[in-house]
């Protein structure tokens, strides 16, 4: 179960509906994305997918280029959301079936750990901005950066 997004079956069904081939590497990548509790880099998804493959029924490993192309396809299809935490690479998470649902992230500057959180007061701020400026806020993204509990304990 992931933190917010579409399930593995929902992603695979939408890919099939759009005419995409569902191969063993693609299934493994979708499973890795859908079961993750935090946004994952393509490298992390690739490694997790390869742990799933290599059994007698799925002998071929996932190619890294395939992983990059497929994650791009998922983003283009609206099945994965790209997030940039200014770490030098993007991370991905499944999109949520309810477009109105959103969550945000806390990011550790020291170890790179990322955790989602749902507590959001930005809607109130958006309403004030709209009232003052007439600018209509359509969406927002909020990431908080600092030190995670583990890194804060280190001397």
pLDDT at 1: 32
Which domains does the chain carry? 8-94 (1.10.10.10), 104-153 (3.30.1490.190)
Taking the alpha carbons of 143, 148, 152, 155 in that order, is the dihedral positive or negative?
negative
Tens digits of pLDDT across the chain (155 residues): 335 578 899 999 999 999 999 998 999 999 999 998 888 999 999 999 999 886 665 556 888 999 999 999 999 999 998 988 878 889 998 887 665 556 778 888 888 888 887 777 788 888 899 999 999 987 777 788 899 999 998 76
What does each C-alpha distance from 3 to 20, 25, 95 come to in angstroms? 25, 23, 10
- In tens, the pLDDT along 118-148 reads 777 788 888 899 999 999 987 777 788 899 9
DSSP 3-state assignment of 19?
Answer: coil
């Amino acid at each position: 179960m992931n933190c917010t997004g579409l399930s593995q079956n929902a992603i695979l069904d939408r890919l099939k509906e759009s005419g995409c081939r569902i191969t063993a590497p693609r299934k493994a990548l979708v499973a890795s994305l859908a079961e993750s509790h935090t946004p994952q880099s393509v490298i992390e998804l690739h490694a997790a997918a390869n742990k799933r493959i290599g059994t007698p029924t799925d002998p071929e490993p996932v190619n890294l280029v395939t992983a990059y192309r497929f994650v791009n396809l998922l983003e283009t299809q609206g099945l994965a959301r790209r997030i940039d935490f200014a770490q030098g690479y993007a991370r991905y998470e499944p999109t949520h079936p309810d477009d109105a649902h959103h969550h945000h992230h806390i990011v550790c500057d020291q170890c790179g750990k990322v955790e989602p959180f749902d507590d959001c007061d930005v809607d109130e701020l958006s309403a004030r901005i709209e009232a003052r400026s007439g600018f209509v806020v359509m969406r927002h993204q909020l990431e908080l950066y600092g030190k995670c509990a583990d890194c804060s304990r280190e001397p």
